[in-house]
Structure formats: structure tokens, C-alpha cells
Amino acid sequence: MSEHSTYTPGSGIEKWLDERLPIIRFSKEHLMDFPTPKNLNYWWTFGAILVMCLLVQIVTGVILAMHYTPNIALAFDSVEHIRRDVNGGRIIQATHAVGASMFFAAVYVHIFRGMYFGSYKAPREILWILGVLIFVLMMATAFMGYVLPWGQMSGWAATVITNIFAAIPVVGTPLLELLRGGFSVGNPTLNRFFSLHYLLPFVIAAVVALHIWALHVPGNNNPTGVDVKDSRDTLPFHPYYTMKDLFGMVLFMIPFAWFIFFAPDILGHPDNYIQFNSQVTPAHIVPEWYFLPFYAILRAIDFNLLFIDSKLLGVIFFGGSIVILFLLPWLDTSKVRSGNFRPMFKWFYWLFVINFVALTYLGAQPADGIYVLLSKICTAYYFIHFVVILPLLSRIEKPRPLPTSISESVLAKSHA
Amino acid sequence: MFNTKTILATVAVLAGLAGMPATQAAEEAPHIEKQSWSFAGIFGTYDQNQLQRGFQVFREVCSSCHSARLISFRNLAEEGGPAFSEEQVKALAAEYEVADPTADGGTRKAVPADRWPSPFATEQDARDANGGALPPDFSVLAKARGVHDAFPFWIFNYFTGYSEGGPDYIHALMNGYHDEVPESAPHNADGTPFELPEGKHYNDYFPGHALGMAKPLQDGQITYDVAEGETAVPLTVDQYSKDVAAYMMWMAEPGLVSRKQTGFGVLLFLVLFAGLMYGTKRKIWSGIEH
């Protein structure tokens, strides 16, 4: 988007560089001058917060890898070695472990913000799809990272999650053995998970670059969902949004630091302080909180459908719950982006949020009694929201009148 | 119309959530009383005297069956822990023999750099000596146990930073023994009374209630040295178990005190910094309608 450039090389060296690799021009265009809607609220700072989370995970992770030993006999003790004997190790390890939770907390806010304000709608479908792809890569990375400390929950999570793949017809068993590097979870599993856990964050970083590229073609959505009309609607990214994002980041670091320093283990499970033993099954195998909604969907399916057995059906729903996110731009056909101007959508959006929280809660409960029924209801509603409610709403809903431009809505607000 | 429907559905979901713990609580383990620990909270620190007493309990009682393989003698002299003097630790280590293939005869006296010697050479030896049960290693055991809070009380734990579930459980376990199966024991699924397997011991707080370990601590079993001018500490199971639970927490988390001290500074900085950032942000945005 070179039309925004106000860059003129200031010195001979800059001019020389500009004719060969215009990296300063590029940075100025995209990190400083980039025209950004002036009405973005604080939910929009989570993009920058997520970049920070990724960097924190990569930096702490690289340091942890210097001291960690990916061997089933040594892994558990090597993590304790990091906590006890490495300089600053307790903080670095806690930052990485808590950081995973904070990363997911931020990504859920980011996703739900996108859902409310219709940020997935044309012309931002690719931007949304790349985002969902990042989410999937994050889940894979977090899952494999959770296995590395080789505690009871690590080993059993690895067992349960890799088992999911065995339900796939024909290729299931070979795939399971490929993932595990053998017939059961063991040293080869730990080794390949360590290798992939180191690789995937860099893949995520690359997709994040594409995600930002796809953002900078149409530009940001905004709380009104109305397109930018002219320069009165926008502000340069720097200093306005660099400053706002920095403030958001510092604010986000407060709960982050609270967990690191005062409750570093509260987001984990006590059983993970017991070394993995394939002969002893924990009373409840629970994944980390950020997987619970999807885990609840997986477990909710305990019945066969026609020729599909319950195990495969569970996997289909589990996979479907993510795949459906990719299709969201085409399921919601309403022309109005922002939930603020969609009176019916607004209600169903919050119902969906409550349902999602309920799934999170149910994922942590034992699979018996009332929980089974509730899980089924919530799972059904999750899908109904996407395949029935959203397409239907687009047809029957009468949106409220939209402001003609961002600056008009801003002025109306300040005079109100 | 949609509003009513939505509200009804929301109420239904919330009612379901609220009703769940009630059905669940019926089969839960007895409530575990939370103790007041010196190392709880933002300003928590270990009580050096308590850790030294806890170490005495560990050494005289627990360590005859339980190992602590991640602990070195030198850790006992570290600041923030029991903080014995270097001479004390050296002398203590010298009381133990450790295996060393490079030494004459294969063993030598321990030095502060050595790990705490395990009571049994192998897992099988440990099981053979304990009726088939394996006494768990103590190194991180205080963090491998916890207290289960019912909804909605566990939500508050995230705001209070409650991390003392392990010591609370250990204290409860030490005080939860019964000589005979009590009337409060749960009935089997088919309604028959609870039957304690041979060689097991009934405990209120152990999952399943049948614990392999006999009641390890008795009143008056250990004599604490009382320094001049100090009040004597009660020689009771309650006191012993608090002391040993605190010691076990230190073993599991020896850097707790410095972690919390750093954390206080970090949080203070972040709050002030956030205030400055907010001021800067407002200044930059002043005069911009947004």
C-alpha cells in the first residue's frame, strides 16, 4: 500500500538502501503510517497482545530447550532441574507454562471479538481463515508442549489425544503409530513432540506474518463495521495505536505476572507433578482448560449413527467444531458486519458465548450423570448456532440503520 | 419474542450449571480444613524454625520409607529454607553413606553436594518392604496433591492465588486416621458396608479410604529441642503434621520466597507503568474524536 507512504530517504545510505531493499520504507508504511480506523476499542489491542504472547513463548521456550532433556527417564527431573538449579529458571519456566494459558485467553478474546464485529466478512475471509489456522497450530503446539514435562497428565493426554486418530477409517492405526513412533506412548513420542514443539511456533510466526499481510490489504474492521470512506476516518498507526496497544500489553501483563509469581501451578493439574506411569491411570484425565470446550464435544458423542460408530462420530464432531470456523464467512451472509447494528444476532451471539463457557465447564467434569446430557445439549447448540441460526438470522433479521461513515458515528457519540 | 426465548435458554443453562455441584458433592471426599500457612499469600515466607522442625520429622520418621531424590544436602543450607549452617549440613551429610563406584569399597561418606540418599535401592525393594505399596518420593509431592473446592469456591482461588492445597491435604491425611472403620465410611455401590482390605488403614481423606501406610505420627513421638527463651512447641500429631507439610512444601518449591518477593516488585512496577502508559496514551489521543 505504497500510496500511504510519506517516506523520503533522509541520508545517502538510506537512499542507497531504498533502491535495493526498501525495508525502511516498508516498515514506515506498515508500522507507522498505516491508516487505521480512529474508533477501534480496547478489544482491538488483543492483536498486539497476541504478538507479544508469541514472542514471550518463543524467547522463554528457546531458553528452556537449552536445559531440558527429551528422554522419558530424564525429562521430568530436567524440568525440576530448571525450576531449582537454573538461574531464573523458576520464573522462565513459569512464564512459559502460564504464558500458554494467557496466549489462549487472549486468542479467545480475539476470536470472539472478530465474531461479534463480523471481522470475518468480505473482504476479510482469508484473514479470518489464516486466523483459524493459527488457532489450530496453537492447539497442536500447546498440546505437544504439555507432554514435555512428562508428568501423569502429560503422558495420559498424549495417550488419549493420539488415540483420537485411531478412529479414522483405514489410515487410523498407521497414523496413530506414526504419531507415537510406536505402539504406545514412549520415548519416540516424547522426542518427536519435542522436535515439533520447537518447529511449530516458527510456522505460527510465518502464518502470523500472512495474517497481518491479509489485514493490511483491506485494512482494519472497526466497531461500526462500516468501511473507511476517507482520511477523516483514520489515524496513522503510529503513535496512536502503537501507544494504545502498548498500554493494552502492559495491562495484560498484570494478570500474567500475578499467575507467574503468585500461583504458577494453579492453571495446571497437581497430577502433573507425578512422573508419567503408563500402568497407573489418573482418576480423571483432564486437558488444559483451553481445550475443554472441544474435549466436551468429543466426549458428548457416545452413540452410534447408522454405520458410524461413536468413536469415529466423536472425532467427526470434534474436527467439525473447528472446521466449521473456517466456513463462518459463508454461513453468516448478513451484509451488516457489526453486532452493534444487529438486534437479533446480538442475543444469539451472547447465548453462543454462554454455551461455549458451559462447554468449558462440562469438559472438566466427569462423564456421567447430568453432565452427559448437558454436554450433548451444548454440543448440539454449538453446531446449531453455525448451521441454523446464523444463516437464518441473515434472512429474517432487520438490521438497525448504519452510520454513513466512521467519523459521523464518532461525532454522534461525542455529541450525545 | 426472541428476547424471552434467549433469556429462558440462558436461565436454563445457568440453572443447570448451578445445580451440578449439588449432585456432585454427595459423593465427594470429606471437606478438607484449610490451615493458615506462613508461606501463603503475597508476602508469604517460610518459617525457618518450622522448616527445621519439619526436617526433623522427615528425617526421624518419613525418610525411613520415603525418598526425596531431587533434594541435595546443600539445599538445607540455602537461604529461605531451613537454612542450617554449612557446618551443620556438612556434619549431617557425613552421617550418611552413599554409593560411589569410584570410592574404595563402593561407598563413601556423603558430602553437601550429594543427593538425599533413598531408603531403598530399587522400586521393587521399596514395594517388598511395604506390603506391595510404593511410598511416593517426597521431592515434589506437596505440589502433586491438592484440595478439591466445590463450585463456585474454586473461582476465588485464582484471585487469592491459593497454592497450599498440597500442605492442606498432607495435614488432613496425617490427622485423618481411624483405628477401625468408622460409621461415616461410605457404603459400597451394592449397599454392603465398607470393608477394609487386609494390611490397609482407614483414612478419611485418602481417595478410596484404604491407605497402605499405617498412622505414621503419634503424639509425643518426636522431641523438639527448645532453645532458651523460646516457648515450647506442642508435641502433637497436629503440630508434627503442620511442620512436615511445611517442610515438604519447601522441598517442592524451594524458591517460593524469592519468587514472591520478585513478584511483588514486578506487580508494583507494572501497575505504576500501566498508569504512566495510560497517561501518555491519553495525552497523545487528546483532541482526537474517537
The Cα–Cα gap between A370 and A367 comes to 9
Kindly report the three-state secondary structure assignment for every residue of A116-185: HCCCCCCCCHHHHHHHHHHHHHHHHHHHHHHHCCCEHHHHHHHHHHHHHHCCCCCCHHHHHHHHHCCCCC
pLDDT in tens, A307-328: 888 889 999 999 999 999 999 9
Residue B181 CB coordination number (10 Å): 14
Tell me which residue range forms the domain holding A345: 34-415
Tell me if B260 and A273 make a contact (CB, 8 A cut-off): no
Q: Is the pLDDT of residue A411 over 90?
A: no
Q: What is the mean pLDDT of residues A290-296?
A: 95
Specify if A6 maps to a domain.
no
Specify if A319 maps to a domain.
yes
* SS3 (DSSP) at A37: strand
What pLDDT is recorded for position A368? 84
Specify if A404 maps to a domain.
yes
Q: Is the pLDDT of residue A1 over 50?
A: no
Specify if A1 maps to a domain.
no
- Which positions in chain B touch A354 (Cβ < 8 Å)? 10, 13-14
At A138, which CATH number?
1.20.810.10
- Which positions in chain A touch B139 (Cβ < 8 Å)? 80
Q: Is the pLDDT of residue A245 over 50?
A: yes
Contact present, B116 and B72 (Cβ < 8 Å): yes
What contacts A290, CB < 8 A, 6 or more positions away? A100, A101, A104, A105, A108, A139, A142
- Which positions in chain B touch A260 (Cβ < 8 Å)? 263
Of B143, B252, B290, the CB nearest to A39: B290
Residue of A nearest to B162 (CA): A263
What pLDDT is recorded for position B290? 78
What pLDDT is recorded for position B189? 77
What pLDDT is recorded for position A7? 86
- List B178's β-bridge partners, or say none: B202
Cite the DSSP H helix spans in chain B: 2-25, 48-60, 86-94, 123-129, 153-160, 165-174, 237-252, 256-285
Tell me if A247 and B278 make a contact (CB, 8 A cut-off): yes
Q: Residue B98: in which H helix or E strand, if any?
A: strand B97-99
Q: Given pLDDT bands bounded at 50, 70 and 90, which one contains residue A171?
A: very high
Specify if A73 maps to a domain.
yes
**Cα torsion for A127, A131, A136, A140, to the nearest 10°?**
120
Would you say how long chain B is, in residues? 290
- List A305's β-bridge partners, or say none: A308
**Cα torsion for A267, A271, A274, A275, to the nearest 10°?**
-90
Cite the DSSP H helix spans in A8-116: 12-20, 23-27, 46-67, 75-85, 89-116
Complex confidence, ipTM: 0.91
Q: What is the mean pLDDT of residues A271-288?
A: 92
- What total of structural domains would you count in chain A? 1
pLDDT tens for the 290 residues of chain B, in order: 345 555 555 555 554 444 444 344 444 567 899 999 999 999 999 999 999 999 999 999 999 999 999 999 999 999 989 999 999 999 999 999 999 999 998 999 999 999 999 999 999 999 999 988 999 999 999 999 999 888 888 889 999 999 999 999 999 999 999 998 988 888 887 888 888 988 899 999 999 899 999 999 999 999 998 877 778 899 999 999 999 999 999 999 999 999 999 999 999 999 999 999 999 999 999 988 87
Contact present, A37 and A227 (Cβ < 8 Å): no
Q: How far is B286 from chain A (nearest CA, A)?
A: 10
Please, what is the angle between helix A187-216 and helix A46-67, to 10°?
150
Residue A63 CB coordination number (10 Å): 18
- Which positions in chain B touch A235 (Cβ < 8 Å)? 288, 290
What pLDDT is recorded for position B3? 52
What pLDDT is recorded for position B12? 53
Residue A343 CB coordination number (10 Å): 14
Domains assigned to chain B: 46-71+116-267 (1.10.760.10)
Specify if A84 maps to a domain.
yes
What pLDDT is recorded for position B29? 62
Contact present, B164 and B39 (Cβ < 8 Å): yes
Give me the DSSP letters along A206-263. Answer: HHHHHHHHHHHTT----TT-PPP-SGGGEEEIIIIIHHHHHHHHHHHHHHHHHHHHH-
Q: Given pLDDT bands bounded at 50, 70 and 90, which one contains residue A4?
A: low
Q: How far is B229 from chain A (nearest CA, A)?
A: 35
Q: Residue B108: in which H helix or E strand, if any?
A: strand B107-109
Q: How far is A154 from chain B (nearest CA, A)?
A: 14
Contact present, A299 and A363 (Cβ < 8 Å): yes
Q: How far is A292 from chain B (nearest CA, A)?
A: 15
Q: What is the mean pLDDT of residues A137-165?
A: 95
Specify if A394 maps to a domain.
yes
What pLDDT is recorded for position A283? 85
